[in-house]
Structure 1
Amino acid sequence: MKAPLTLFTALLLAPLVTLADLKEHFSDPIRFAEDWVPYGRLADGTWAQGFGQARPEWWALEDGALCGQNFPEEKHPAGISLKENLPQAQLAETGARISWRIKVTETSRGTLRLFGISSGPHSQEATDNHVLALDVSAAGLRLWNGNRELTAPAPDKESRKYRNTVFEEKSSGGVTPGAWHAVVLEVKGSDVRVFLDGKESVKMKLPQEQPLRSLSLEADGDKKSHGLAWFDDITVAPLPK
């Protein structure tokens, strides 16, 4: 008789995610726990990272999808990041196509963020911060690029000072609350295009080419009610030639 498969053993045996052509369907709880790292700020302002520190309510698998939840007393969105880096050199050469499905409520938004060379929730560097992100809500789609330049270096992270610059473009309409929508984000050099349910919704010319180092998801609300967002069927692949 074989010994039962414990959670610890299952985690050790879980396959590592392959990011050359990532496909995440959130159908395997063991792989999910192995491949993703939750992060955010607790109500008292404490930074929490990892399943041991994060609130368990922030992220949960629900009917084969990932549900994120942010609470009104929290000043930072509930986030979750892939542990492994994206294949940066390959995607810089070919361009990247990121597709996913998303569902939000009337007062929430779901965000997909692509971090650059020296940024991200688990970065060890302290230089430039490049972020390309798409906010999806009932109010509209907001495509934005943020650059953070270090202006006052310091040994500890809390004492460093930065200058932030944000470029953004917005769509003319949003998504239907409570319904699933298909989103595609294409990045080629400094050109970015977003398609919502098969139609081009918003595009942007970046001030500089965007490095693609890591990927994260965030759920946020209007700070008056719980911010709920659902994600599913995430694919990261090179743009076809």
Structure 2
Amino acid sequence: MSGWVKIVGLGPGADSMITPEVTAALAEATDVVGYVPYVNRVAPREGLTRHGSDNREEIRRAEAALDMACEGKRVAVVSSGDPGVFAMAAAVFEALEAGKPAWRALDIQVLPGISAMLAASARAGAPLGHDFCCINLSDNLKPWALIEKRLRLAAIADFAMAFYNPRSTSRPIGFERTLDVLREECEPERVIIFARAVSTPEESIRVVTLGDATPEMADMRTLVIVGSSLTRVIERAAAPLVYTPRSVA
């Protein structure tokens, strides 16, 4: 079977943050499948067909990619950031496990990308320099009660935390509730970083305390990092640097 599926990460936004491995896969692909804005990041060329679809069609998108690979096509399934972090890799494997037996014989690879949390952390300094966790605040695929439980336990365990999908027009209340949970479990001086559109011309990095944070500081293009109790801010003439020490007394 000559077709293949490569599930690739396009990084947080800048072309310079796409890995050479992903660039090579895209150059070999006959078809690109993904959410419309991500597919549009792949330049059109002769011999390449781009298949954009809605953000909530992950399983159908994955099934279509697997079917095309069975036809001998070389299919790149694209995600922003890293495909294994709240993205298409898991969706492809969900489809694979429940789908056609022939799909399991395909050459399927996951090619990593630079995730938004790592890009945001690097821009701010090293806030994820010690133990941390990553939580998707969207309740589209899981109940809010589970999100709240994980938030509360992560705060009690004193992890630094990276939040994906903090706030959208369809979910305006979730991040407000997130801040309420954090304020119940953490001191008001806890450091929070709002990293918006990292590596794009619209990039902004804002460092505040939990006491000063407001829901309006985040949107769907924002990656939020909450420090642990040990996270420090180094003030200087340029933008402050935020880091979490590597050791605990």
The TM tier, using the shorter chain, reads: under 0.3
Q: 1 or 2 for the larger relative contact order (CA 8 Å, sep ≥6)? A: 1
Which structure has the larger Rg?
2
Q: Higher helix proportion, which one?
A: 2
**How does the TM-score come out when normalised to structure 1?**
0.25
Q: Higher strand proportion, which one?
A: 1
**How does the TM-score come out when normalised to structure 2?**
0.24
